[in-house]
Chains A and B, each alone.
Chain A
Amino acid sequence: MSEAHASALPAPFLVALREAAPQMAISDDADDRATFGRDYTRVHEPNASLVVFPTTTTEVSHTLRLANEHGVAIVPSGGRTGLAGGALATNGEVVLSFDRMRRMDPVDVLGGTVRVQAGAVTQAVHEHCAHAGLTWPVDFASKGSSHVGGNIATNAGGVKVLRYGLTRQWVLGLEVVLASGEVLELNGALEKNNTGQDLRQLFIGSEGTLGVVTEATLKLAKLPGKLTVALFAVEDLAKVLDLFVKVKLGPFTLCAYEFFTAACLARLERHRKVRAPFAERHPYYVLVELEHADDAALETFVGETFEAGLAKDGVLAQHEGEARALWELREGISESLSATGLPHKNDIALPLAQLGSFCARFGEVFETRYPGWEICLFGHVGDGNLHVNVMKPDTMDKPTFLTKTKEADADMFALVKEHGGSVSAEHGIGLLKKHALAYTRTEAEISLMRATKRLLDPNGILNPGKIFDL
C-alpha cells in the first residue's frame, strides 16, 4: 500500500482550509496520522493523509464544506475505542479528530441535562454530572477514552443497557454538521417534540456516514443508590437463562446481568493477577449488579436461588473494593484475550428466547468444523448480546487462521440469521462487518439506507466505505 500524505490532497483545498480556519491545528505528522487514523482494531493498517483538530463547530463546518467542494474524504474520529473499524482511515482520508472539542457546559439540574461538545470523554461527563447527583448512564469498559460524539455516532451499548437502554435513549438534542457544511440543531433540549420525523435519530448510530455530531444535549439520570454486586457459578447455559428470569423478577432493580465462561476466566488469570472468585472451577459465571437490594429480600432471594438449583455457588462483594474486583473479572476479559493470544471477535445479538437453541447449534458447528478451537464467550446476556471470541490455535499461522475465521463467520452468521439475531449488537458495522450486513438487514432496507446516504452526502465524502459500499 502506498503511504498517503497531505501532498496527495488537492492543493486548493489545503489553501482554502488554512484561510477559512486559521486557528485550527492541522497535522501531517506520520505518528499523528498513524494514531488518529485507526480505532481499537488492528486488522487494517491506517493510511490517513492529514489530521485536523477543530475546536469549534464553525471549524468543523468549514472543513466539511471545503472537503465537499474538493471531493476530499473525511473520517470523523472520537476516542478511537471502536471495535468495527468505523473510524479507520485506510484510503488517504482526512481525519477529523474531536480531541480538542471537550467543552462541557454547567449541568442543568432542573431539566436534568448537560450540553457537551462531541469530544467530551464519557468518564469526564460522569464526573462532571456526579456533583449534581446525576449521571449520563452510558457506561462501558472503555469509558476513560471514548467520546460522547463517538458514542452517539455508534449508538454505543455497554454494561448498563439492561437497566438504562442504549445511547439513543439518552440524547435529547444534537448539533450535526452535514457534508455541505450546513449546521443543524435537532430537537434542542426537548423531551417531547412530536413534530414529524425525528431526524436526530437518523444520525445516532450512522457511524459518521450521514453527518458529523459536534455537540449534544445529554439526558441525565439520577445517580444509582447503593449497589449490590454478586457473582454466581452456574453449570450450564440453560441455568444462566433461568437465573436471569429469577433475578429479573426479584425484589430489587436489576442493573447488570453479565456472563462469561471458564475459558475467559482462565485467559484473565494467565494475563494478570486477579482474585479468584471460587476455589473450584465452574463452566459459567454470572455477574449481577442490583440496586435497592435490602438484606432481608436478598436473603430470601438467594435462598430460593440455591434451593432451585440455579447456581452452584455464589459470592457477594462486601465493600466497594470487592465490587470492583468482581467487575474486573468481567471488564478485563477483552484486554486479557488480546494480551494472551489472537482473538477473532464477533458481537452478536439474539432474541433471548433463541439464545439456548443458538448456543447449542453453535457449539455443534464449531466442534465438528473447527475442532480444537478455543472459544471465549462473554457478554450481556440480559439484553441478548454475546461476544464470541475465537482464539487462534497456537499451532496455526495467522493467515490460515484469518482465512478460516471467514468461513467460520459465514457459518455463524447463517445461524444468527436463522435465529432472528443480529450480526452486530453494539459494535456497529464499520469496515470489518460490512460483509455480514446482509445477514441481518434485507436488500430493501439496505437500498433505503443507500438512498438516505446519497441524499445527505451526494459526493460521498463522509466516512466513505463504512457500513456499505454505494
Chain B
Amino acid sequence: MKILVPLKRVADPDNANKVKVNAGKLVTTGLEWKPNPFDEYAVETALRLTENGTATKTRQGEVVVVTFGPKDSETTLRAMLGTGADRAIRVDTGDDQIDGDVVARALKALVEKEKPDLVLCGKQAVDGDSGQVGQQLAEYLGWPQATFAGSIESEGDKALLVGREVDGGTIKLRVELPAVVSVDLRIVAPKSVKSVHTPATHAYPEGVRFAALMAIMAAKKKPLAEVKLADLTSDAAPKIQYLDYELPPARKAGVKVKDVTELVTRLKTEAKVV
C-alpha cells in the first residue's frame, strides 16, 4: 500500500518562546517547531499499515510525507523520514500565505501525480484548529472519507474498516480504497491499527515511535523533493482572510495574604466564592 501523509509544523508548546501578535499579524520569529501531534499520529498509523509490527525495519509499501512551508520546514520532514517514512515532498510556501482550501487543492494535484492508495492526515492542527484539509481533499478528489479514526483495520489493503470516535461511542464504517482518513488520538494505542502484515496478536508500544539514531542518519539520504505551489494549483489565493489575532490576557500577579482571616475575608468580598 502506498500512503501519502500531509503534515504541518506547529510551535512547540514546550519552548519558552511563544507566538506573538503585532499589529494584527502573527509573529513566528524565534519559535521552535515540532510536527502537529495529530499528524505524527497519522505518520505512525501509516507506518503500522505498511509493516510487520514484529520487524519494523522493513517497509511493505511506501509512506510519503508532504508539508507546505519554507525551506526550514524540511527539518520536520527529515524527522519523519527518521521515524520510517520513505520519501518527503516540500511544497514551497510561507507559513501564513495559505489556508486549508489552498492546501487541499494543491494536495489534490499531488495525489493525482503520486497516486497513493490512501491519504492519512491528522484530524486537525493544534495551532489553527481549522480541521478542514482532510474533508476538503476528499471532496475535491471525490474519494470516500472517514474522519476522527480511533481504529483502522485493513481488509486486504482493498478497503479499511474504520472506527470513528464520536460523542458517547464509536461508529464503524467501511471505506473502499483509495480514500482519505483523518486520525484521532486513540489511533496510536497498542492495538488500534491492524495491518495485513502484522500478526493479529501483536501489541505496539503506546504512542508514537521515537526516531532511531541510525534511521535519522539514513534519513539524510532519503529523497526530499521540492515542489512549487504554482505547479500544483493555478489558483493559490487563499479564500480565508484572517482579520485579527488576539492573545489570551496576561495572568494578573497574585497577592499575598497575611493570615487565614484575611484570606477568608477577601474570598468573600473580592473573589466572591464563599
Contacts and interface: CB of A to CB of B under 8 A. Distances in A.
A229 B237 CA distance: 42
B92 interface: no
B82 interface: yes
B212 A315 contact: yes
B34 A318 contact: yes
Interface range on chain B: under 10, 10 to 19, 20 to 34, or 35 or more?
20 to 34
Contacts of A279: 53, 56, 204-205, 209
A42 interface: no
B209 A319 contact: no
B12 A315 contact: no
A273 B189 CA distance: 11
B223 interface: no
Contacts of B220: 299
Interface stretch (A135-143, A240-248, A320-328, A368-376): A320-328
Given A274-B206, A324-B14, A318 B79 contact: yes
Contact of B213 (A273, A302, A321, A324): A302
A173 B212 CA distance: 46
Given A279-B56, A321-B12, A315 B213 contact: yes
Given A273-B206, A321-B14, A230 B32 contact: no
Interface residues of A, number: 26
Best-surrounded residue of A274, A314, A317 (most CB of chain B within 10 A): A314
Nearest to B207: A275
Contacts of B264: none
A296 to B, nearest CB: 11
A319 B14 CA distance: 8
B34 to A, nearest CB: 4
A290 B216 CA distance: 17
Given A275-B205, A303-B217, A314 B14 contact: no
A446 interface: no
A315 B32 contact: no
A319 B217 contact: no
Contact of A302 (B205, B208, B217): B217
Contacts of A313: 212-214
A318 B217 contact: no
A315 B211 contact: yes
A316 B214 contact: no
Contacts of B34: 318-319, 321
Interface string B13-30: 111000000000000000
15 contacts: A230-B213, A232-B213, A273-B207, A278-B210, A279-B56, A302-B214, A302-B217, A303-B217, A306-B214, A316-B82, A316-B212, A318-B34, A319-B32, A321-B12, A324-B14
Interface of B: 12-15, 32, 34, 53, 56, 79, 82, 204-214, 216-217, 220
Interface of A: 230-232, 273-279, 299, 302-303, 306, 313-322, 324, 326
